[in-house]
């Protein structure tokens, strides 16, 4: 796979999360979490099930309003911004519980991502007789699909794909929004070994090209291999941060994982 063919403009942005707190009813899912993701590298967020990783992603991408704290993109606070504005500001993401457009084809899923941010075509589409596809958009879509290795699926209904492939479609869709920050929530779960390898290569080359990637992933080999920095979240609290080696050696992390009764964590 040649990285030069990447369809996206890769200008990463520094993502900073400062003192973020989110609770549901009385239950605090994320407590005073802070982290930084730098352009040009993969930063990972790990932690056991229910640690609050997805919740943090929802807050950062604007889908859930946080109770307190800031999300800062290249020095600018995103406070009060709707999720679609955050997306237009360069924040792209994938979902742990898939959010594909199941009634559209795979290619259409990506087309929406390319076209959805501009208003100009709405009124024209509403009142015109013909709706020709834009060849530039189609080319961009095809490139993104090829990049993640699912170019042959372009005309399949997105709702009919197995989970692993759906995750790749979500990744390709995120890439079509001209992202500066990529938030990936367990992109490798459900992927075959070959697909995971490909994901590995894609992510590391995207990072090399300058994109900011924040990764939530349970595949620990992938995390260790890709990340420059790892944050560990446990019961909503960031208990450790550092390079893979540092995190592995961290006594708090050891205590958190080995001390915890698996039944308690697992429900």
Ligand X SMILES: Nc1ncnc2c1ncn2[C@@H]1O[C@H](COP(=O)(O)OP(=O)(O)OP(=O)(O)O)[C@@H](O)[C@H]1O
Q: Which residues bind ligand X (CB under 6 A)?
A: 24, 29, 47, 49-55, 96
CA dist 44 and 67 (Å) reads 23
Long-range contacts of 114-117 (CB under 8 A, 24+ apart): 114/140, 114/141, 114/176, 114/177, 117/87, 117/88, 117/177
Question: Which one of other proteins, Mg ion, ligand X, none is in contact with 116 (Cβ closer than 5 to 8 A by kind)?
Answer: other proteins
Read off the tokens for 5: 């063919």
Q: What is the DSSP letter of 133?
A: P
Look at the block and give the residue holding tokens 């009764």.
261
Nearest residue (CB) to Mg ion, 90 versus 187: 187
Question: Which one of Mg ion, other proteins, ligand X, none is in contact with 87 (Cβ closer than 5 to 8 A by kind)?
Answer: other proteins
Read off the tokens for 249: 């050696």
When asked if residue 34 is in the footprint of Mg ion (CB under 5 A), the reply is no
Neighbours of 128 (CB within 10 A): 10
Per CB under 5 A, which region of 78-86, 95-103, 109-117, 137-145 contacts Mg ion?
Answer: 95-103
Task: Kindly state the smallest distance separating residue 58's Cβ from other proteins, in Å.
Answer: 9
Question: Which one of other proteins, Mg ion, ligand X, none is in contact with 215 (Cβ closer than 5 to 8 A by kind)?
Answer: none
Nearest residue (CB) to ligand X, 104 versus 265: 265
CA dist 87 and 83 (Å) reads 6
Nearest residue (CB) to ligand X, 53 versus 180: 53
Question: Which one of ligand X, other proteins, Mg ion, none is in contact with 55 (Cβ closer than 5 to 8 A by kind)?
Answer: ligand X
CA dist 212 and 44 (Å) reads 11
Task: Kindly state the smallest distance separating residue 19's Cβ from ligand X, in Å.
Answer: 17
CA dist 73 and 89 (Å) reads 9
What contacts 40, CB < 8 A, 6 or more positions away? 12, 207, 208, 209, 210, 211, 212
Task: Kindly state the smallest distance separating residue 71's Cβ from other proteins, in Å.
Answer: 15
Per CB under 5 A, which region of 91-99, 127-135, 192-200, 253-261 contacts Mg ion?
Answer: 91-99
- Residue in 21, 34, 96, 105 binding Mg ion, rule: CB under 5 A: 96
Task: Kindly state the smallest distance separating residue 133's Cβ from Mg ion, in Å.
Answer: 36
Task: Kindly state the smallest distance separating residue 197's Cβ from other proteins, in Å.
Answer: 14
Q: Which residues bind Mg ion (CB under 5 A)?
A: 53-54, 96
């Amino acid at each position: 796979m040649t990285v030069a063919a990447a369809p996206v403009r890769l200008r990463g942005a520094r993502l900073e999360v400062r003192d973020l707190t989110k609770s549901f009813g009385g239950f605090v899912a994320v407590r005073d979490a802070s982290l930084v993701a730098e352009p040009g590298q993969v930063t990972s967020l790990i932690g056991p099930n229910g640690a609050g990783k997805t919740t943090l992603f929802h807050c950062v991408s604007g889908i859930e309003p946080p109770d307190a704290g800031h999300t800062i993109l290249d020095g600018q606070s995103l406070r009060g911004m709707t999720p679609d504005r955050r997306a237009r500001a360069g924040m792209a993401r994938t979902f742990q519980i898939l959010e594909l457009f199941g009634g559209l084809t795979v290619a259409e899923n990506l087309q929406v991502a390319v076209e959805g941010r501009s208003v100009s075509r709405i009124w024209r589409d509403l009142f015109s007789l013909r709706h020709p596809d834009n060849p530039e958009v189609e080319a961009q879509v095809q490139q993104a699909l090829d990049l993640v290795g699912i170019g042959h699926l372009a005309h399949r209904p997105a709702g009919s794909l197995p989970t692993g492939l759906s995750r790749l479609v979500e990744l390709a869709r995120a890439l079509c929004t001209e992202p500066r920050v990529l938030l990936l929530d367990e992109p490798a779960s459900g992927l075959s070994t070959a697909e995971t390898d490909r994901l590995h290569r894609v992510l590391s080359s995207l990072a090399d090209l300058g994109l900011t990637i924040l990764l939530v992933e349970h595949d620990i080999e992938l995390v260790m291999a890709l990340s420059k920095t790892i944050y560990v979240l446990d019961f909503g609290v960031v208990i450790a941060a550092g390079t893979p080696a540092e995190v592995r050696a961290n006594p708090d992390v050891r205590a958190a994982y080995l001390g915890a009764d698996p039944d308690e964590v697992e429900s």
